[in-house]
Amino acid sequence: MGIDIERLDTHTDDETRRDKTRRYGTTGFESPAADYLRESVDLSRRLITNRTATFIYRMASDAMIHEGIDPGDIVVFDRSLNHVHGDVVVAICDQTYLCRRYNEVRMGNRIQMTLQAANPQYPDQMIMEGDSTFICGVVTSIIKLKHRARP
């Protein structure tokens, strides 16, 4: 049992779909489309490739507002992915979950890793050797609900 996304997924196999048509199927002529039935596009499959390692959080600050990530947006991230320069990541910093851009900047002959917000009010955070900042995973999509169903 998970959130709806998970439940949606259980009935999307090509096979199940055809079986259903068969079960409730036609008594007269078989539908000419029967052989062409394909799985309809499924958001949860598109957005989540590794279900086991994917987590869904909600953005609560305006730190990434110039990246188009607004407060209230749904953030999907995959903990199995390794972050590289330029990724939007989820990190734990000072015991708080942050959403930031991960950057590597060459400084002399060493590489400085930073977490950058997309809002000038938030300063860059350097990741130092031995500090407790921990990058959990890479953000794979942002979901904005445009028409919120009434509660």
Partner 1 sequence: MKRAFAHCDVNTCYTSCERVFNPKLEGKPVVVLSNNDGCAISVSSEAKALGIRMTAPWYQIKDIATQHGVIVLSSNYTLYGELSQRFMDILGDFVSPDEQEVYSIDESFLDLTAFQQLYDLNAYAHLIRNRVRKWIGLPICIGIGSTKTLAKLADFWAKKHPQFSGVCNINDMSEAVLMRRMARTEVGEVWGIGRRSARKLHDMGIHTIEDLVRADQQMLQKRFGVNLGRTIRELNGIVCHELTTITSPKQQIVSSRSFGNLITELEPIKSEMRYFVSQAVTKLRKDRSVCGLVGVFLMTNRHRTQDRQYHKSTYIRLPYPTDDLYTINHAAMCGIEQLFKIDFNFKKAGVCLMALQPASMTTQDLFAGGACEDRRERLNVTLAEMKGRFGPLIAQIGNVQAGSKARMRREHKSPDYLTNWHELPLLY
Is residue 27 close enough to count as binding partner 1 by CB under 8 A? no
Q: Measure the CA–CA gap between 25 and 146, rounded to whole angstroms.
A: 37
Among 27, 96, 109, 121, binds partner 1 (CB under 8 A): 96
Q: What does the radius of gyration of the chain's CA atoms come to, in whole angstroms?
A: 21
Contact 59, 41 (CB under 8 A): no
Instruction: Look at the block and give the residue holding tokens 């930031």.
Output: 100
Closest CA to 73 of 90, 56, 96: 56
Is residue 49 close enough to count as binding partner 1 by CB under 8 A? no
Contact 104, 113 (CB under 8 A): yes
Structure tokens at 75: 């953030």
Nearer to partner 1, 33 or 145 (CB): 145
Nearer to partner 1, 1 or 33 (CB): 1
Is residue 99 close enough to count as binding partner 1 by CB under 8 A? yes
Among 48, 63, 115, 138, binds partner 1 (CB under 8 A): 63
Is residue 92 close enough to count as binding partner 1 by CB under 8 A? yes
User: Given the rule CB under 8 A, which residues bind partner 1?
Assistant: 1-4, 50, 52-53, 55-61, 63, 74-75, 79-80, 90, 92, 95-99, 136
